[in-house]
Structure 1
Amino acid sequence: MAPNDSQTALWPAPTAAGAVAATVHVPGSKSVTNRALVLAALASEPGWLRRPLRSRDTLLMAAALRAMGVGIEEGVGTEKGSGEFWRVIPSGLHGPATVDVGNAGTVMRFLPPVAALADGPIRFDGDPRSYERPLHGVIDALRVLGARIDDDGRGALPLTVHGGGALDGGPVEIDASSSSQFVSALLLSGPRFNQGVEVRHIGSSLPSMPHIRMTVDMLRAVGAQVDTPESGGEPNVWRVTPGALLGRDLTVEPDLSNAQPFLAAALVAGGKVVVPDWPARTTQPGDRLRQIFTEMGGSCELTEYGLEFTGSGAIHGIDVDLGEVGELTPGIAAVAALADSPSTLRGVSHLRLHETDRLAALTKEINELGGDVTETADGLHIRPRRLHGGIFHTYEDHRMATAGAIIGLAVEGVQIKNVATTAKTLPDFPDLWTGMLGSDGA
């Protein structure tokens, strides 16, 4: 497949001419939006998602659910500030249907269990990179729970789930050390399985635990009964009781991980960035940025309006375990490359299996701008050096693109290849970025 113009285009990353002073309205959370779509599709009554994220990943999720028979109506609220909404109308899930997962981990992992509940075959396909991403945890588990899946023994896409209209469910052991989404995928559909589901993780350390906590919180909010290790259950075991799910009226939180480049801008250039509607309590991994970026030289205040983050222009290195918040690694690595002392980022070996091998990609791209980054067994070691301009490749990875933009604030001549890949989770990133810099953007 020939690349389109956006994939080959170079975007000159703007350099900050001075301190930033901006309020950035960050779009809704992809993680919340896609979980909410699945739960609403499995509910016993209609539900509402207000201010959902409209991005490639979430539109793929909505299109996939529509293909399986779910009604999703789009509209705009008339009340001040209510914004866009999606009304989700559950119906009998059915095939035949074909689902395009793109390169969205949530779509390729959350929907095969839903497809097992459908009546008829559901085929899953996607971008070439999606064939390389691990899916065996979900496939193997669904087979144990009673599903019939054709994947030609690959443990990956493309595949077909032959839905029988119901699934037995029950206990299953999985190794989710390569992706916490394996656990979330089974939990989200678990209330609709005849016996519910008991998921026992038997591998090494489990990454991205905040995302599993998000899944559990959202399940409980729609009436599911979930027992977890945190609620007194066995370590590494989650149980979901079978039962009907309620329709909800949910307002989606801003995507805190997508706030990262804007907060980083205050660290790199100095000044203040305000992100409205930052929640006081959340399971989003991006909330860790308040702590991490403060350790790296910034300061923040959470007000009723949102988060105010201030940087002095001085950036300090950090030694940090990012195992629970791996998606923040590219942005932290970009900031660390501009710091006044070395940094070590640990606990993120699973990033080699993300949209791209993020550890290899960050090492190569920062080093080609004159940096000194080395891969470790489970992360990166970054020694700051004077950087120069050049092409920053993104590997069709949205977080690589925003990492390059962060470096470009301090380094003239950085050109981002295929900045359009940010549409995966952060539509209109280039406009948001230049808007943040205002007249100060060079």
Structure 2
Amino acid sequence: MAPNTAPPALWPAPHASGAVDATVHVPGSKSVTNRALVLAALASEPGWLRRPLRSRDTLLMAGALRAMGVEIEETVSSSSSAAGGPDGTGEAWRVLPTGLRGPATVDVGNAGTVMRFLPPVAALADGPIRFDGDPRSYERPLHGVIDALRVLGARIDDDGRGALPLTVHGGGALDGGPVSIDASSSSQFVSALLLSGPRFNQGVEVRHTGATLPSMPHIRMTVDMLRAVGAQVDTPESGGEPNVWRVTPGALLGRDLTIEPDLSNAQPFLAAALVTGGKVVVPDWPQRTTQPGDRLREIFTEMGGFCELTDYGLVFTGSGAIHGIDVDLGDVGELTPGVAAVAALADSPSTLRGVAHLRLHETDRLAALTKEINELGGDVTETADGLHIRPRPLHGGTFHTYEDHRMATAGAILGLAVEGVLIENVATTAKTLPDFPELWTGMLGQ
């Protein structure tokens, strides 16, 4: 922190005086928005993104693509809010793939999708593209993408760090072909290569060699979105080899895509229904989706809630009781902070497994959750691949966020049941969930 920089303000997490009863319009999915931006930028014709998420991570992605020569025009209907309504009005982005070129400098912030998805895109540009970001971004693993791109024919200067900052010297094309990577630390390594694969001269064949592969739903999301724009993708699920994905070279279509609500960002609001024994409705919850957040229906039902998926959206109701859970979150690691917060308020212990990779996220989420919940009186211990949580009476205090949006929303969940929780730097939620404090107090009718 700079000497003259004031510490982030402390936000008093609202305490629930009774059962919540609210309808919450959750903004669009970050994961879908950023994948859609990349695919539209690589397409052979213009495309539309309707109801995109406007947050720090998505604006960084759009800004990065603009820096590389892609035109993105923004429009907002005067008849609706920027978040968009059920009729499809609201904000829309028109993406004109006008060619990728350097020199350019890309600010990735601390966005994993930007720092990992765009170096393969930059390899297709004419000219050098420099990538830089927040100090924490220097510590996040990027070697899987860097090493793979070199095998596929790209020239990258990273001074041997395997991390940011770095420069990709785009040559206007990339050979592509087969490559082996260890994506144990992030499934985004696989998605990054698949998204640009159709534009490589030989396509790409990605073989994962590691012992584990977290967040498989995010890879399935990448594959589904590639197929929706005309790409041919062979996967282990479609009869291919285990841990091998093949993308055939070819042109990508411009699409008119409406972005789904971000189901992972619905977590704190559903948790509020569980914690207070109330009811929360999330409109436009998709009947079918590859978003990992859809697993919340199963997890929170097991922890004591009831859910009904209707044509309007998801209706989630708390029973007034919160039960502990023993669950493998390896495919849905981003849900861990919110599940941990609910588990700390449960009537029995919980064990969260399969999430060792969270130590490499925006912060070391396992260490951060342990420290912050315990400082409020909790009893959380780290395991080799997760957390063990024994509920204890909690008290107020400062809940630090480590510039991690999901830590901030976890603290808000605790604050519903525990008076006097002060969240440091709640503004970090703008990374994926803009206007979270307003949405939260609106849900509570405060």
Shorter-chain TM range is: over 0.9
**TM-score, scaled relative to structure 2:** 0.97
How far apart, CA to CA, are the structure 2 residues paired with 1:230 and 1:110?
23
8 Å Cα contact 2:176-2:203 kept in structure 1? yes
User: How far is the alpha carbon of 1:313 from its aligned partner?
Assistant: 2.0
Cα 1:3/1:340, change in 2 over 3 Å:
farther
Question: 4+ runs of 1 displaced by more than 6 Å?
Answer: 3-6
| Residue pair 1:178, 1:353 contacting (<8 A) in 2 also | yes
SS of equivalent residue, structure 2 residue 109: coil
Structure 2: segments with no counterpart, 5+ residues: 77-83
Find the aligned partners of 2:338 and 2:160 in 1 and give their Cα distance. Answer: 36
**Cα RMSD after superposing both structures:** 1.4
* Residues 7, 420 of structure 1: 8 Å contact kept: no
Residue 4 of structure 1: how far off its partner (Å): 9.1
Distance 1:421 1:6, change over 3 A: farther
Cα distance, 1:4–1:98 mapped onto 2, change above 3 Å: farther
SS of 2:351 mapped into structure 1: strand
User: Which residue does 1:247 correspond to in 2?
Assistant: 254
Q: Deviations over 1:69-106 (max 9, x none)?
A: 00000002999541100000001100000000000000
Give the 3 Å change call, closer, same or farther, for CA 128–3 of structure 1 in structure 2: farther
Residues 79 and 398 of structure 1, relative CA distance in 2, 3 Å threshold? closer
Deviation at 1:169, TM superposition (A): 0.1
Equivalent residue, structure 1, for 2:40: 40
1:285-328, Cα deviation, whole Å (9 max, x unpaired) = 00000000000000000000000000022100000000000000
Deviations 1:166-207 (A, max 9, x none): 000000000000000000000000000000000000011100
How much has 1:336 moved relative to structure 2?
A: 0.1
CA distance in 1, matches of 2:3, 2:158: 27
2:86 touches 2:284 (CA, 8 Å); kept in 1? no
Specify whether residues 228 and 271 from structure 1 end up closer, same or farther in structure 2 by C-alpha distance, changes over 3 A only.
Answer: same
The answer on whether the counterparts of 2:303 and 2:323 sit within 8 Å (CA) in structure 1 is yes
Q: Deviations over 1:402-426 (max 9, x none)?
A: 0000000000000000000000000
| Distance in 1 of aligned mates of 2:182 and 2:314 | 37
Cα shift at 1:7: 5.7
Q: Give TM-score, length-normalised by structure 1.
A: 0.98
How big is each residue's C-alpha offset from its partner over 1:117-167, in whole Å with a ceiling of 9 and x where there is no partner? 000000000000000000000000000000000000000000000000000
Unaligned runs of 5+ in 1: none
2:174 matched residue in structure 1: 167
Is the CA contact (8 Å cut-off) linking 1:29 and 1:252 kept in structure 2? yes
Task: Number of aligned residue pairs: give it.
Answer: 439
- 1:199 maps onto 2:193 in alignment: no
1:8 positional shift: 1.2
SS in 1 for 2:412: helix
Partners of 1:187 and 1:34 in 2: how far apart?
Answer: 14
- Write the distance in 1 (CA, Å) between the matches of 2:271 and 2:205: 40
Residues 246-301 of structure 1: CA deviation (Å, up to 9, x unaligned): 00000000000000000000000111000000000000000000000000000000
Q: Equivalents in 2 of 1:139, 1:85: separation in Å?
A: 33
CA distance in 1, matches of 2:429, 2:4: 15
What is the CA distance between 1:19 and its match in structure 2? Answer: 0.3
Q: Pick closer, same or farther for the CA change 1:57–1:6 going to 2, 3 Å.
A: farther
Question: What displacement does 1:2 show?
Answer: 2.8
- Is 2:51–2:88's contact at 8 Å kept on the other side of the alignment? no
Contact preservation (8 Å) 1:6, 1:418: no
**In the alignment, is the contact (CA less than 8 A) between 1:257 and 1:286 conserved in 2?**
yes
Q: Secondary structure at the match of 1:98?
A: strand
Contact 1:6 1:420 in 2 (8 A): no
1:3, CA displacement in angstroms? 8.6
